[in-house]
Structure 1
Amino acid sequence: MKGNILVLLLVFVFLFASGCAGKDAGPASDESNTPAQEAGVTEQEGNVPLGTGDEHIVRLENYGVAKPSELEVPKGDLISWRSDKRQGNYVLISEDGLFSDETLSYRVPFVYTFNNTGTYRFIVKDISETSNMPEMNVTIRVS
């Protein structure tokens, strides 16, 4: 009896640990079973609907770090911009005018689908009143 409980406990721990593993770059795993709209995801009009391409995550961390800062994706894929900064906001600026400046709050992603090939550059600014962090630069190449 005690052996069965121990085996079940080990299986549970293994399943829990494997579900927590993930990657910072590349296609995103499904972090929840709720639709993207319920999670607060925003997408510009005229884009391919969610779910037609792979989703890649660009994490905006504290201290002016964007991971990854360069990314190459195929046409039709989505980029999900996510702020890991708990206090204050970032502003995402498309140097190519793909969309209006987007304010990014903690854990509220902004999703954009890249429908055209090319190289696109973005600036991310920390807009906290006390921030003196440098801008982050992100380049996305679409093939």
Structure 2
Amino acid sequence: MGKHMGTWGTYAENAARIAVLSLSGVMLAATLAACKAPEPIVAPAHMRRPTAEIVGPRPVSDTAVSQKRNTGTYPTFAQPLTAAGTQMGEDEASTMEANLSRLGAARKNGQISEAEYNRRVAELRALAENQKPVATPAASQ
């Protein structure tokens, strides 16, 4: 066994180590004691108090939408949902495309008058307007 085994030095060296460690501990404790955590922003002291708003009675509209409708029956949602209108099929779309192409070619060649062309375009626009989907109210849950 070595001659220094089991000893950590002389008494003076040990006392110096203890003093340094004690001084480090005191400095650490003093540093930690000086630290102060900031108040949280969501603390009740920082929150604005709500103001009371006094609300009196308000008049009710007399429109039919706001009035109760007593039909004498319970509402039912059992009927299946229906489409807004009939949908155009592939054959109808190809037929309409051919008609539009012929109409444009006839106008270009001068086979129909401008008034006739405008009448047919107005007719097709009215048909397109009729084919637009209609917004249906959402079903209650």
Which structure features the higher share of strand residues?
1
What TM-score do you get using the length of structure 2 for normalisation?
0.19
From the two aligned structures, give the one with the greater helix fraction: 2
Q: Which has the larger radius of gyration?
A: 2
Normalized against structure 1, the TM-score is what? 0.19
